[in-house]
Chains A and B, each alone.
Chain A
Amino acid sequence: MELRVIEKTEEELRIEVAGEGHTFMNVLKGTLLENDDVAAATYDVNPEQSGGQTEPILSITTEGGADPLDVLEDAAGDVSRKTDELRSAFKAASA
């Protein structure tokens, strides 16, 4: 996973997440949208026709003065916590 910030303002972020696909990006987007500070979040996995850009680009817009990078960091933490809970739920069910 290689990150490259394309555009960054107080409340907007466009960042390339190289090496990922729908599997992770959609989970991440879904989790971002659960955050009340996030006004909009989306990602685009460009097709090969789009001038060579084939890595997913994540776009986040926040509201209420939250820094989009902090929001992204929190979302990654949320995904990690969810997987952790899901793992223990699976282990409890199969034990």
Chain B
Amino acid sequence: MADEFDVEYIRGDDREARILVRGLTPAFANGLRRAMIADVPTLSIDTLRVVENSSVMFDEMIGLRLGLVPLTTPDDFEYGDTVTLSLDVEGPDTAYSGDLESSDPDVNPADEDVPIIQLNENPSGENQRIELEAEAVLDDGKSHAKQSGGVAVGYRHLRKVSVVGDRGEFDEEETNILRGVIETEDGELVPTDEFDHDLTERYPGKELEVEDVPGAFVFHVETDGSMTVEELVLRGIDSIESRADELQEKVAV
């Protein structure tokens, strides 16, 4: 087939990346984006068994906060699988996400320093204390935003910027704002933040032509830490593929 995919990492690390993909149709690019947001499952705390909570927050508030803490999610879990974590902190102290003790060595809070609740001394002189067991469950972003591994996942067209001449001698110098990634005439890829998103910074006094490059999409992929950017993309692709295979199988019967 004529599909020649070409993938290039423009910049990025494990948590956040800009990735140029050539050869995609708009439908496919959007399918991949949606799959990364809503169809890639992650583990999140969903139920609590509270043994003691004398903090200033209700159990439900603690539950919400714990649910939002991203947990590292290996790929050998099935929907509905659970992992138990426990938290036991006595004041005066702050309970952090890093204080959660997991029953599975592969499942841990992705960030250790998220404050959950500050524990003080009560007016009666007792220390506030929190002790609970939490059940993390594997589910996807359709059930709750906390189960979504992607944060602000999106894409823009790659734009080609070419110089078509000099700016007229008496024309106003106006800013020419563009966000995303541009491709110069030499085929160099430049993220727009390198010139403050203003084309007149990079090409002063030039008249420019800006056009979309067909089929070239620059994805911005950021994860909450439950998996790396690469894993998120690959699991998104897997999710679409598994459904295509299922459809093919069922139609064939």
> Which residues in A have some Cβ–Cβ distance to B below 8 Å?
1, 3, 17, 20, 22-24, 26-31, 34, 69, 72-73, 76-87, 89-94
Contacts and interface: CB of A to CB of B under 8 A. Distances in A.
Interface stretch (B91-99, B153-161, B230-238): B230-238
A27 B240 contact: yes
Contact of A83 (B39, B230, B237, B248): B237
A82 B28 contact: yes
B237 A90 contact: yes
A73 B7 CA distance: 28
Contact of A20 (B243, B251, B252): B243
Given A76-B245, A76-B251, A80-B245, 9 more contacts: A1-B243, A17-B247, A20-B243, A23-B39, A27-B30, A30-B25, A30-B26, A72-B247, A76-B248
B188 interface: no
A28 B247 contact: yes
20 contacts: A1-B246, A3-B251, A23-B39, A27-B27, A27-B28, A27-B240, A28-B247, A30-B25, A72-B247, A77-B244, A79-B241, A80-B245, A81-B1, A83-B237, A84-B241, A87-B237, A89-B6, A90-B7, A90-B237, A91-B234
A20 B30 CA distance: 15
Interface of B: 1, 3, 5-9, 19, 21, 24-28, 30-32, 34-35, 38-39, 230, 233-234, 237-238, 240-241, 243-248, 250-252
| For the complex of A and B, 9 pairs with smallest distance between CB atoms | A30-B27, A76-B248, A27-B31, A93-B7, A79-B244, A83-B241, A89-B5, A23-B34, A80-B244
Contacts of A1: 243, 246-247, 250
Nearest to A81: B1
B27 A26 contact: yes
A23 B252 CA distance: 22
Contacts of A31: 27
Nearest to A5: B251
B3 A26 contact: no
A90 B169 CA distance: 47
B5 A86 contact: yes
Given A3-B251, A87-B237, A90-B233, A76 B27 contact: no
B251 to A, nearest CB: 4
B178 to A, nearest CB: 25
A52 B35 CA distance: 26
B121 to A, nearest CB: 51
Contact of A93 (B9, B30, B39): B9
Please indicate which of the listed interface residues A17, A31, A72, A86 has the most CB atoms of chain B within 10 Å of its own CB.
A86
